A and B are shown apart, each in its own frame.
Chain A
Amino acid sequence: MTQADTSHLEPGTSRTVTLRVFRGDASGGEFVDYTVEMDEGQVVLDVLHTVQATQAGDLAVRWNCKAGKCGSCSAEVNGKPCLMCMTRMNTLDVSKPISVTPIKTFPLIKDLVTDVSFNYEGAKQIPAFAPRAPDAADGSYRMMQQDIERGQEFRKCIECFLCQDVCHVIRDHPENKPNFLGPRQFVRLAELEMHPLDTADRTEFIREAGGIAYCNITKCCTEVCPESIHITDNAIIPLKERVVDKYYDPFRWIFGKLTGRD
């Protein structure tokens, strides 16, 4: 992608940029060009706010922290799923209009705001954390860092749902939504399955309701994750391997029968 030459901008100076923003709702809409001044160091969300403040007061856009931690401002900039607050203007070619569209995979409500309730419905299906008995009479637990650290990567998830958006299983095939929970939920499932206190076995759930076999590990979820979680390598593939342990490995089945271990 071409780097825009904005390095010459001094604080207090600006240049013109055109955002081509989609305006509409589920019934349709159109792209509208907004040409505004852009300052050095700005991100796409900053420029969108300028548009909102000066030319389109009714523009619908979700945002909150402007620091890449709330996961609200997910959108597609020049067709690439991203957080608008973490996409710097100097990474874009501002000599051409920059398209800003809502994320594709979920139904549009208005302008850049989509209905992401699919993800919350999926989360509700996941068998809850089931801890073993406490280690002490006061109900507290003792965990070793080496046991818990794998799951700490997954707790970085900010639920921006960019991984869900870019996943072609549901992005290009919405009919798969009832059969596939998506990468974000696999991250949650991996966190639970690898938790040292958890006692539940979700392997069947991961295989059946989760639909993990739909994932063909093309790693787009990992590529777009703003928290740099290794979704495919550290969550999805380990879960796939656990499914193989239980359903596709006759050696383990025989070993289990011989030793009486599950």
Chain B
Amino acid sequence: MAQVDRAVSPPHRLGFLRTLRTDAWWFEPAAIGIGLSVFLGYLTVSAFLDGWAYEIGPYLTPVFEPKLAGSFDAWYFSPALLILWVPVGFRATCYYYRRAYYRSYLLSPPGCAVGDAGKKYSGESTFPLVMQNLHRFFMYAALVFVVLLWIGAIRSFYNTESIIDGVAVETGWGIGLGSIVLVINATLLMMYSFSCHSFRHLVGGGSSCFSCSAVSRARKRIWDRVSAWNESHRTWAWASLIWIVFTDVYIRLVANGHITDPNTWGGF
């Protein structure tokens, strides 16, 4: 390699955190790093807390959705761990979250025009980061979870238990604050999935001819809609992450008797 290829123009220099920026470039990566740590940290802890009630009446926290068949006691570990690899894998390989944690955790780079960490860099061309190419497979699985979460949200409107915490309650169709919380949760997770870059590619982005057939023209219309959602992918990513934490906290507080859910079944 010619020496000129290695050059950077003076007065710039190579090196971690080298920059001439004078603004608070560090604020965004710091805030995102703290936010990710708090919300993902909570969900990690929650996944292991299968000994602390996570369902009551028609409500099941989404961390444990779908509820696996059979007795949970048969598992030697939290049943959430059997299903969480899908949403965890989906978010870990998500194009938005990659941007977020590459900047905030791997400092690669910590900010634009700020020297990155690491003396050598190969990006996503080598193991383990080449595994980011699995994103679309997690996306396929995540679409199944969208259906499962909606089933859970709809189920939350139908109570089958006549006695909850020793108190007689109504059964059948009804509505509670928990139902609304679960519907919002399913909606946000659906929008996060439907605004995914890989989903955008799947529905039409991979095509170079939108006018060739009735099918491709239909794909174009879907692609246009998904592209509009995709522009807010970061917003959906954060909104769905924050709301799943809120949903889990709410249902656990109700399930463990710390608060009462206002609902039409008589309250529990």
Q: Smallest Cβ distance from A159 to chain B, in angstroms?
A: 18
Across the interface, which residues of B come within 8 angstroms of A78, CB to CB?
Answer: 20-23
Q: Smallest Cβ distance from A205 to chain B, in angstroms?
A: 15
A36–B233 Cα gap in the complex (Å)?
45
**Which one, A102, A114, A144, A215, contacts B210 given CB within 8 A?**
A144
Tell me the A88-103 residues at the B interface (CB within 8 Å). 93, 96, 99, 101-103
B165 is an interface residue with CB less than 8 A from chain A: no
Interface string of A183-227 (1 = CB under 8 A from B): 000000000011110100000000000010111111110011000
B260 is an interface residue with CB less than 8 A from chain A: no
A222–B233 Cα gap in the complex (Å)?
15
> Are B121's CB and A214's CB within 8 A?
yes
A31 is an interface residue with CB less than 8 A from chain B: yes
> Are B22's CB and A102's CB within 8 A?
no
> Are B12's CB and A172's CB within 8 A?
no
Tell me the B240-261 residues at the A interface (CB within 8 Å). none
Given A101-B11, A103-B9, A107-B9, decide whether A196 and B209 contact each other with a Cβ distance below 8 A: yes
A146 is an interface residue with CB less than 8 A from chain B: yes
Tell me the B102-146 residues at the A interface (CB within 8 Å). 102-103, 108-109, 112-113, 115-116, 120-125, 129-130, 133-136
What is the interface of chain A mostly: helix, strand, loop, or mixed?
A: mixed
Across the interface, which residues of A come within 8 angstroms of B122, CB to CB?
Answer: 214
A41 is an interface residue with CB less than 8 A from chain B: no
Q: Considering only CB atoms and an 8 Å cut-off, how many residues of chain B contact the other chain?
A: 52
Across the interface, which residues of B come within 8 angstroms of A104, CB to CB?
Answer: 8-9, 12, 113
> Are A81's CB and B9's CB within 8 A?
no
> Are A218's CB and B99's CB within 8 A?
yes
A154 is an interface residue with CB less than 8 A from chain B: no
> Are B210's CB and A146's CB within 8 A?
yes
Given A168-B108, A173-B120, A178-B1, decide whether A241 and B210 contact each other with a Cβ distance below 8 A: no
Q: Smallest Cβ distance from B67 to chain A, in angstroms?
A: 29
A58–B164 Cα gap in the complex (Å)?
85
Q: Which of A63-71, A133-141, A242-250 lies on the face that meets chain B?
A: A242-250
Q: Smallest Cβ distance from A112 to chain B, in angstroms?
A: 9
> Are B197's CB and A241's CB within 8 A?
yes
Q: Which of B35-43, B79-87, B177-185, B200-208 lies on the face that meets chain A?
A: B200-208
Tell me the A232-248 residues at the B interface (CB within 8 Å). 233, 237-238, 241-245, 247-248
> Are B95's CB and A173's CB within 8 A?
no
Across the interface, which residues of A come within 8 angstroms of B130, CB to CB?
Answer: 213
> Are A79's CB and B21's CB within 8 A?
yes
> Are A174's CB and B6's CB within 8 A?
yes
Across the interface, which residues of B come within 8 angstroms of A96, CB to CB?
Answer: 22
Tell me the A11-51 residues at the B interface (CB within 8 Å). 22, 24, 26, 28-29, 31
29 chain-A/chain-B pairs, Cβ below 8 angstroms: A1-B23, A22-B10, A26-B7, A26-B9, A78-B23, A93-B22, A99-B20, A99-B22, A101-B9, A104-B12, A115-B4, A147-B210, A166-B113, A171-B113, A172-B14, A174-B7, A174-B14, A213-B124, A214-B124, A216-B99, A216-B102, A216-B108, A219-B99, A233-B231, A237-B95, A237-B197, A238-B205, A244-B135, A244-B136
If A99-B22, A173-B120, A175-B120 are given as contacts, then 10 extra A-B residue pairs at C-beta distance below 8 Å, sorted by A number, are A76-B113, A79-B113, A81-B112, A107-B8, A144-B211, A171-B8, A215-B123, A218-B108, A237-B201, A241-B136
